A and B are shown apart, each in its own frame.
Chain A
Amino acid sequence: LAKITQPISMDSYEGQEVNITCSHNNIATNDYITWYQQFPSQGPRFIIQGYKTKVTNEVASLFIPADRKSSTLSLPRVSLSDTAVYYCLVGDDNNNDMRFGAGTRLTVKP
């Protein structure tokens, strides 16, 4: 099992870029990295997923260095509605044993 470490909380202001880093030192060769967003009283929602280098979609970018022992979720120009908890998960494409950590609570201020 990959041990996952994320900052407990982060603060930002509207319009800024936010980078949340996740450490997963013992990631396995077949593992992918997935980020979820969760608002209060809702289930986690998929944001982005990657294996190596950089992945970008309409809401975020994911940067993964060559050793894959960490990953950084980048949210461009955050707004108040991006205030949520962000979870980093590591798992293979059999979707077994994927476990959540405590997540990073992002607070965006006006």
Chain B
Amino acid sequence: EAEVAQSPRYKITEKSQAVAFWCDPISGHATLYWYRQILGQGPELLVQFQDESVVDDSQLPKDRFSAERLKGVDSTLKIQPAELGDSAMYLCASSYTTGRVGYTFGSGTRLTVV
């Protein structure tokens, strides 16, 4: 079964440092999403890509977060500088653009900011 790959699995960083997460979607999935999930809450959409273009980044804190998908395949989410409140699970998901509903999620990156 095809999977969405994410790395690292866990990350501990100090406040004010930079941190980056990587995601490789399922082959053929043109749409890629980054979600943030705070413990005990549902995932919150941060950014959605269609190929290399951003479709929706309305919930992305752009003063410290950035996301790119330069070649329309894998993607990187960056936080600089990290704050204590950024501690969360960062989930990547991918999907077909049209004609088939629903996402496949990766296992996520658990970020702890100390």
Stretch of A13-21, A63-71, A76-84, A97-105 on the interface side? A97-105
Question: What does DSSP make chain A's interface, helix, strand, loop or mixed?
Answer: loop
- Looking at chain B, what size class is its interface with the partner chain? 20 to 34
Across-interface contacts of A87 in B (CB, < 8 A): 42
Q: How large is the interface on A (under 10, 10 to 19, 20 to 34, 35 or more residues)?
A: 20 to 34
Known: A96-B56, A97-B56. A43 touches B93 (CB 8 A): yes
**At the interface, yes or no: B96 with Cβ under 8 Å from chain A?**
yes
Q: Is the CB of A94 within 8 A of B98?
A: yes
Give which listed residue, B41, B103, B105, B106, contacts A95 with CB less than 8 A.
B103
CB-CB nearest 3 A-B residue pairs: A43-B105, A100-B42, A32-B101
Chain A residues near B (Cβ < 8 Å): 32, 34, 36, 41-46, 49, 87, 91-103
